[in-house]
A and B are shown apart, each in its own frame.
Chain A
Amino acid sequence: MNRRTFLIQAGAGGAAILSSGAWLSAESGAAPALADRLATLVAELEIKFPYAFALYTRDESLTLEVSDDGNRLTTTGPNEGIVAGIWDGGMMREEATSMANDAGIRRLRDRLLAFPAPLSKSVDMDPGPPIVTDLTEAGRIPIDSRSLTRRLDDLASLRAAVTKRSPALAMVRLESLQGSSERLFVNRTRRLYQKLSRAGIGGVAMARKGSGRPGFLFIRHRGIGGLEHVELSGPVVDRWVERTERLAGALPPEAGEMTVVTEPNVTGVVAHESFGHGVELDMFVKGRARAAAFIDKPVGSAMVNITDDPTRAGAWGFYHFDDEGWTAAPTRIIENGIFRRGLSDSFSARASGLPRTANGRRESWDHKAYARMSNIFFEPGQQTREELIRGVTKGLLVGHFSSGIEDPKGWGMQVVCQYGEVIENGRLTGRVVAPVTLSGYVPDVLGSVDGVANDLELPPGTCGKGYKEFVPVSSGGPTIRFKARVS
């Protein structure tokens, strides 16, 4: 972690950018200069309303892609803007603009002040204890320590090496990501600034065998930090190529309830869909979550421990404070099979009377804040992956999730995976099936967990609330074993 009192450097010229690779750091947002003006805005609004806040966000990314077509460099953003809100004792009113300047702030102020004053100003909202922070996460190996030209060359070399590993590979596309997320939050007691660097590497491979349907496999590694996240180790590449080949012409799995051993990325989605979405406290106050009736009650086997932790260094869902200015801290959701507490934003904590956690997150300035996960994971156990597989008479090893969906009220869950391998008599057979859908009733699934390995990973993902409101998260855990319906 880097703590600096002054973060923003003046822009560099194109030649300097090319030689240093400092594509993102050369252009920074307007956050530090905005802080005073947002503080003034909050003060003006609080003359009329019990509580006001302002949040500036800026997000951008650059993807370097190498494929048969050549090199492609694709940017998103910069997407920046300001949202300001007032609480009138009953509801939150927000105005948001992409104009992150004085004119935009004036428009927000004028629109918000046009709303009628609340009948009483005696109802307050806790702004939190005073904090001023100025934080940046550049990572262990800063992105700008290697030029774009060099990184494109490295990516092309890696792609050539991957392609050579198997004649069955008909297509390999690799991409490297870099980006940044800035947040400046201001209320009457807090002035919080953070800038997070994002980096990663990923790709898709396709293998063909004869005239059958091709096999596809995506991989993705991402984290908060720098070039340390832009690495694919030899064993990871070997496994990617081997599994892509095996997926060509793979048949669907034998359907029915069976024992499954899930790799960390699938384990994470199980946590995410079972006791992630289902314990976002806005679901409680809307009467949408069955978990509301299970606080301090058993919901899984004693081997189940699930935590959400935005402070997990390097993980894709890391942050110092949430988008409502609450200082990040871990929340232990399930402890030895007992559901303890959920995840909240300011609205759901106030409405439910349950503790506030630092999980009020927005996709960006032009989206609403909701209770959201950050880095959610099954905590690791003592066993090894091999021990879990050895304990299966007949079942499946499942990896490479492609999607998951929650059902907090019905306590159903569904996880779709790209890869399954049949286990018989404690051994992997090499027989591959795909796609594999795991589903089941959440308490049954968690209650059947009878093995938890020690190989914790926190794979990156993107999480939606329903079918929108996308935020970066990680969903992880170790290899675990349980029973589920396979189809």
Chain B
Amino acid sequence: MPTPKNPIERLKAIPGLSAWVVSSRRTRREEIYFRRNETESRRSVENLGGRVDLFTTNGDRTGRGSFDIQAGDPAAFDRQIEKAMTLARLGSELPFPLAGKSEYGKVYLLDPEARDSLETMPSRARAAIQEGVGRTRDVRLAAAEVFVTKTNTAVINSAGAAAENDESSYFVEVVLMAGSGAGEQEHQARWRKRRFEDLDLATAVQREGERAIDRLSAVKPSAGATPVVFGPELLGDMIAFLVPLASGASAFRKDGALTIGEPIAELGADAGDPLIVELDALFPFGPLSYRIDALGTAGTNVRIIENGTFVRPHADAQFAHYLKLDRATGAPGTPQLPLGKLASADLRRDRYLEIVSVSDLVPSRGSGRFSAEIRLGYEVTGSTRRPVAGGTLTGNVFEVLSRARWSKEVSLHDRYVGPDLARVESGLTVVA
């Protein structure tokens, strides 16, 4: 198999090549699928490969040609280089330098349990799922999938960058059923973590089982504007929408809804807690953490939103150069939001609608507006807590994030690190 060391001598000998990046990737994944209590399938996947990016200087422009390295076929490597050079000569992007040698921070992304016992981890996850289901009466497991992956990645480029990293990931999806006959209700949940212990799976499944039971008595929510409390699922969706809009590529092309130096939403007195978003590639066991990105830039931390204003984009080597930024910050790291001043219990006060999950949040790229079907929520008035489902929640991501007040409890969630809960007083409406 070509490794990052082998092809480099080949690349150095190619005339007309101005820069290159070679990465290798070794992945091993164990999967288990079950329906009810029966195992439907078990799978093991081994992926040995990598990627090569070649750059040529074409007049005052640069071109790039790339291909995936295929293990076990060294002859294909030479053929692919030839094709990639052909493609690179046709490109006409503005030139940019690759990141050179750097200090690569220590980032912990590999679960020792996945490292040492990969093959047994799906069965442990299964046992934890079954324990969680067993804790809630009248809930049944319809189906579940568990994937456990460990990966070694190495990146080397022609400017001197070189680093490798080991990481692991767990993906767990469960489908629970409550009730029977025509009133039977389904409730789905999924988790992604780097460490088994961060899943806390039996407890998480128990919580979802209780939600499955709540769906049995859910009614349509009341229509109209309402204060809304929401947790990691909805907040994760919103952060996942915001981060790409704050990229160097989008800032350079001016094709996003955000402008550097301007607030993401004009709210005046309606603003909530200060909105601060940082991307930290070195956050331990963070979902998007890494040590070195695909072009060779070292993982780092960058603050993209400060007090509700888009202060600087995250940018890889290419767009950092185009935008004349002081440094490239690489691929976006793990989003971090600050803790708030109020406890979750204080955010859950008076009257509000608590959203647990919506069907799918797909905001408009231009306006940030969204409308999503409510899968499960709770209408709360004082001590009365009523499950609701159906109807749609409408609002604007930029305004919601700018109006939100954050809980002071923070955790490592599936897509960010930060508040467990948020509350907005206005700007969200339920259409029943």
A383 to B325, CA, bound (A): 58
* Segment from B33-41, B127-135, B333-341, B347-355 that makes contact with A: B33-41
User: Beyond A148-B90, A170-B254, A255-B394, is A70–B366 a contact (Cβ under 8 Å)?
Assistant: no
A80: chain B residues within 8 A (beta carbon): 70
Q: Is the CB of B364 within 8 A of A435?
A: yes
User: Beyond A98-B71, A416-B360, A435-B371, is A73–B64 a contact (Cβ under 8 Å)?
Assistant: yes
* Segment from B45-53, B294-302, B420-428 that makes contact with A: B45-53
Q: Is the CB of A101 within 8 A of B73?
A: yes
Q: Is the CB of B257 within 8 A of A97?
A: no
A170: chain B residues within 8 A (beta carbon): 254-255
B76: chain A residues within 8 A (beta carbon): 27
Number of A interface residues, CB 8 Å?
85
Q: Is the CB of A216 within 8 A of B71?
A: no
Q: Is the CB of B392 within 8 A of A439?
A: yes
A424 CB–B CB distance under 8 Å: no
Identify the closest chain B residue to A101 (Cβ): B72
A248 to B90, CA, bound (A): 34
B175 to chain A, nearest CB (A): 6
Which residue in A90, A93, A216 is a CB contact (below 8 Å) of B43?
A93
A285 to B33, CA, bound (A): 14
Which residue in B29, B92, B364, B394 is a CB contact (below 8 Å) of A434?
B364
Q: Mark B407-432, 1 if CB is under 8 A from A, else 0.
A: 00000000000000000000001010
Q: Is the CB of A73 within 8 A of B72?
A: no
A366 to B43, CA, bound (A): 9
Residues 144-193 of B at the A interface (beta carbon under 8 Å): 173, 175, 177, 184-186, 188, 190
A366 to B27, CA, bound (A): 11
* Segment from B77-85, B227-235, B275-283 that makes contact with A: B77-85
A18 to B390, CA, bound (A): 55
User: Beyond A18-B86, A99-B71, is A368–B392 a contact (Cβ under 8 Å)?
Assistant: no
Residues 349-397 of B at the A interface (beta carbon under 8 Å): 359-360, 362-373, 375, 389-390, 392, 394
Q: Is the CB of A27 within 8 A of B91?
A: no
Which residue in A27, A248, A402, A466 is a CB contact (below 8 Å) of B80?
A27
B124 CB–A CB distance under 8 Å: no
Number of B interface residues, CB 8 Å?
81
Q: Is the CB of B87 within 8 A of A98?
A: no
A355 CB–B CB distance under 8 Å: no
B92: chain A residues within 8 A (beta carbon): 70-71
Q: Is the CB of A214 within 8 A of B257?
A: yes
A91: chain B residues within 8 A (beta carbon): 38-42
B429: chain A residues within 8 A (beta carbon): 255
A62 CB–B CB distance under 8 Å: yes
Identify the closest chain B residue to A11 (Cβ): B79
User: Beyond A71-B92, A256-B431, A368-B31, is A62–B87 a contact (Cβ under 8 Å)?
Assistant: yes
A17: chain B residues within 8 A (beta carbon): 82-83, 86
Residues 8-49 of B at the A interface (beta carbon under 8 Å): 29, 31, 33, 35-36, 38-49
A148: chain B residues within 8 A (beta carbon): 86-87, 90
B330 CB–A CB distance under 8 Å: no
A404: chain B residues within 8 A (beta carbon): 360
Q: Is the CB of A402 within 8 A of B90?
A: no
A435: chain B residues within 8 A (beta carbon): 362-364, 367, 369-371
Residues 94-108 of A at the B interface (beta carbon under 8 Å): 94-101, 103-104, 107
A310 to chain B, nearest CB (A): 23
B79: chain A residues within 8 A (beta carbon): 11, 27
Q: Across the A-B interface, give the 8 residue pairs with the lowest CB-CB distance, nearest first.
A: A409-B186, A437-B371, A70-B92, A99-B72, A405-B360, A101-B72, A487-B371, A255-B431
